[in-house]
Amino acid sequence: MNIHEYQGKDILRKFGVTVPKGIVAHSPEEAKQAAEQLFEEQTSPVVVVKAQIHAGGRGKAGGVKLAKSPEEAYEIASQMIGTTLVTHQTGPEGKEVRRLLVEEGMNIDREFYVGITLDRATSQNVLMISTEGGMEIEKVAEETPERLLKIQVDPLFGLQGFQAREAAFFLGLEGEQFRSAVSFIMSLYKAYTSIDAALAEINPLVVTKEGRVLALDAKINFDSNALYRHKDFLELRDITEEDPFEVEASKSNLNYVRLDGNVGCMVNGAGLAMGTMDIIQLAGGKPANFLDVGGGASPQTVEEGFKIILSDKNVKAILVNIFGGIVRCDRVAGGIIEAAKKIGLNLPVIVRLEGTNADIAQKMLDESGLNLIAADGLKDAAQKVTEALSA
Amino acid sequence: MSVLVNKDTRLCVQGITGGEGTFHTSQILEYGTNVVAGVTPGKGGVLYNGNDRDSFCRPVPVFNTVKEAVEKAEANTTVIFVPAAFAADAIMEAADAGLKVIICITEGIPVNDMMKAYAFVKSKGAVLVGPNCPGVITPGEAKIGIMPGFIHKKGSIGVVSRSGTLTYEAVHQLTHVGLGQSTCIGIGGDPVIGTRFLDAVKMFAKDDETEGLVMIGEIGGSAEEEAAEYIKKHFKKPVVGFIAGRTAPPGRRMGHAGAIVSGGKGTAEEKIKAMEAAGIHVVESPADIGEAMMKALGRS
């Protein structure tokens, strides 16, 4: 699960990670009030108005602007709210700006990068430190690996002081700045593990001329498997940032990802679902979605699955691929026929069922009088998709 | 021979009295696997026969702890059906009790918990398979997991895969073309797993009974590349490979927690390239796995 920058900063603040003072605004008036309050308390001559969307690269897209007065903050906010920002992470459709974060300005001395995430190669968390603040870390790793320090953290012992010191020395910090950075990194790691984050990325981490060390930006993703022990975080979910079809599918416990092709698919199991998408492409079509209906493939899930696939008007044909195994295929076929009748399905549906009673299932589909085309094996299924598309 | 599990496996089922545990234990028993014990804390002392929906073909003694299952029933392998919130603890309990083969089926374990369990298991010198996997089967000897037993056939092809149903697909095709399997290992789709491709490939390298290997990967991570590097240098048997997710868009998670292309890493193309460079016969379509293995063995 992803959250907004301001929500991430609120969480980090609770763990003692230093972040700038900031106020959320949903309208130009609120932005103006926020700026007034900040100008009263700060010494910097500017405040920063930042669009809150679930994507990086906002600065380049015009989603981060400086205001010298509350009036200017009002102006910027009225331009920003309601516009669609397109960044390298939003996709071409972009994301609509609905809220802003107004923050105190900083006298920035230097900018760095600090990130924590799982290193899949070692099954440990890795603390990443880079002198290149504001850069994409993948790019730094590729082009200037000497400017990136990776520190593996033993999950049984956690991040140790000497590791945080090594990180701060790597950034070339001294004195008060060094001490603040060490404390910042230790707090960040504590926050990361306590909240079951999957990613904590501070880019940039800034050191001010006054010697403060702060998270100018914060990207926090949660491990969705661990959300059961952080019920309060569920309130942070912003479904306006998510694909409405995927939100609908998740209500029926379906794992759905919408794509831009013309052949829908419904499959049991994530790996087989990806494999089925690949087969559709090889058969001359383009997958319209990823959809894993889980092991059981009950009549209800099959019906919900069809509904979601059909909500996409680009779909010209559907491939159902269920490897039943322990589940009986005649039952799955019964569910498909029932659902097809109920929804009034009239697109060609190629159905491949494997497992117990697959032969009975095929016969049921053939005799259903519906546009259900039984396929015998994956190869046959692929061929029938090709035929359906050219018909 | 075979790898990990065989006719000498004495299985303990952790979470045996739960819904999932009961159903799958009934299937595991039916396959002929030697189930010697079940563990459910607080239900020790019971001789469990299944429930109204799924009854066992023979009763299984239940213990409170894995330690007891090892001491009193001489269990040497365990399979875990414990709910996600308690599964990492169950893995550690098994490792602490001295079990050397731990197979965890449970899906949805928090990464933080798994990192600790992984480190703990390593420190005890045990082998963990999973979590979030179908399990391990040596056809004709022991089925330990949730895979449909009947699609398998005893033989000489090893199978290792990150996916559940896609593994069944591959096995089905192998059986269909007349190729039986030595052992099939579902390593699971999570980002933190006990046995990776490389570990499995090393096991199959040492197994005399295994003549060829099917390796089914998917997008995300770099475990396939890691295994390909080893295969290139040390693995002398023919390998057929498939990578699921060629058509998956970057940045989107495809069902499995670990199936995501992020920061341009973990793409199907990269993996296929590394596998082909290692001499692996990579098929474009998952429909061609069985035939490709026949060809790789020079039998068609």
Domain boundaries, chain A: 1-19+108-241, 21-105, 243-390
Distance CA A257, CA A289 (A): 6
Instruction: Write down the catalytic residue from A6, A74, A104, A113.
Output: A113
**Tell me, what's the pLDDT at A359?**
86
Distance CA B2, CA A255 (A): 35
What is the CATH number assigned to the segment(s) A243-390? 3.40.50.261
Q: Which residue has the tokens 């416990």?
A: A253
DSSP single-letter state for residue B278: T
Distance CA A225, CA B231 (A): 33
Tell me the ipTM for this assembly.
0.91
H or E element at residue A108: strand A108-119
**Strand A64-67 to strand B281-282: parallel, antiparallel, or no bridges (unpaired)?**
unpaired
Q: Which of A120, A356, A379 sits opposite B287 (nearest CB)?
A: A379
**Tell me, what's the pLDDT at A326?**
66
Contact by Cβ (8 Å): B149, B172: no
Chain A contact set for B84 (CB, 8 A):
225, 228
Burial of A153 (0-12, 13-18, 19+ CB in 10 A): buried
Q: Lowest mean pLDDT: which of B80-89, B142-151, B246-255? A: B246-255
Q: Which residue has the tokens 């040492």?
A: B206
Q: Is B136 helix (H, G, I), strand (E, B) or coil?
A: strand
Q: Would you say domain A21-105 falls under CATH 3.40.1360.10?
A: no
Burial of B59 (0-12, 13-18, 19+ CB in 10 A): middle
Instruction: Write down the catalytic residue from A104, A201, A303, A304.
Output: A201
Residue B236, both tokens: 């002398």
Q: Which residue has the tokens 């890493």?
A: B265
**Tell me, what's the pLDDT at A295?**
67
Higher-confidence residue: B261 or B161?
Answer: B161
Distance CA A120, CA A109 (A): 34
Which residues of B belong to the annotated binding site for substrate?
168
Residue A45, both tokens: 């001559």
Give the DSSP letter string of A235-278. Answer: GG--GGGS-HHHHHHHHTT-EEEE-S-SEEEEESSHHHHHHHHH
What is the pTM for the complete model shown? Answer: 0.93
CATH number for the B11-129 domain, one of 3.30.750.24, 3.40.50.720, 3.30.365.10, 3.40.50.2300?
A: 3.40.50.720
Q: Would you say domain A1-19+108-241 falls under CATH 3.30.470.20?
A: yes
DSSP single-letter state for residue B256: S
**Tell me, what's the pLDDT at A136?**
83
Residue of A87, A231, A274, A293 to mutate, testing the B interface (most B Cβ within 10 Å of its Cβ):
A274
Fold equal for A1-19+108-241 and A243-390: no
pLDDT in tens, chain A (391 residues): 889 999 999 999 999 999 999 999 999 999 999 999 999 998 889 999 999 999 888 988 899 999 999 999 999 999 999 999 998 888 788 899 999 999 999 999 999 999 999 999 999 999 999 999 988 888 888 899 999 999 999 999 999 999 999 999 999 999 999 999 999 999 999 999 999 999 999 999 999 988 899 999 999 999 999 999 999 999 999 988 888 888 888 888 889 999 999 999 999 989 999 999 999 999 999 999 999 987 667 778 888 899 999 989 999 999 999 987 767 788 888 888 988 888 888 899 999 998 878 888 889 998 988 888 999 888 899 889 989 988 7
B23-39: pLDDT as tens digits: 999 999 999 999 999 99
CA A156 to chain CA centroid, nearest Å? 28
A111 is in an annotated binding site: yes
Mark whether A113 is an active-site residue.
Answer: yes
**Strand B11-14 to strand B77-80: parallel, antiparallel, or no bridges (unpaired)?**
parallel
What is the CATH number assigned to the segment(s) B151-297? 3.40.50.261
CA A58 to chain CA centroid, nearest Å? 16
Q: At what angle do helices A175-194 and A5-14 cross, to 10 degrees?
A: 100
Distance from B173 to chain A by nearest Cα, in Å?
9
Contact by Cβ (8 Å): A49, A102: yes
**Tell me, what's the pLDDT at A379?**
87
Distance CA A70, CA A272 (A): 55
Contact by Cβ (8 Å): A350, A320: yes
**Tell me, what's the pLDDT at A207?**
95
CA separation, residue B40 to residues B13, B25, B47, B61 (Å)? 9, 13, 12, 11
- Check CB contact under 8 Å for B254 and A89: no
Higher-confidence residue: B258 or B57?
Answer: B57
State chain A's mean pLDDT as an integer. 92
For residue B221, give every residue at least 6 positions away whose Cβ sits within 8 Å of its Cβ, in sequence order, or none: A120, A121, B191, B258, B266
Q: Is A285 helix (H, G, I), strand (E, B) or coil?
A: coil
Distance CA B267, CA B255 (A): 16
Closest residue by Cα to residue A202 from A265, A116, A139:
A116
Chain B contact set for A158 (CB, 8 A):
none
Chain A contact set for B113 (CB, 8 A):
226
Outline where chain B has alpha helix (H): 19-31, 66-73, 84-96, 111-123, 165-176, 197-206, 223-234, 268-277, 289-296
Chain B contact set for A280 (CB, 8 A):
247
Q: Domain map of chain B by residue range?
A: 11-129, 151-297
For residue A125, give every residue at least 6 positions away whose Cβ sits within 8 Å of its Cβ, in sequence order, or none: A116, A117, A118, A119, A152, A153, A155, A189, A192, A193, B115
Distance CA A258, CA A269 (A): 17
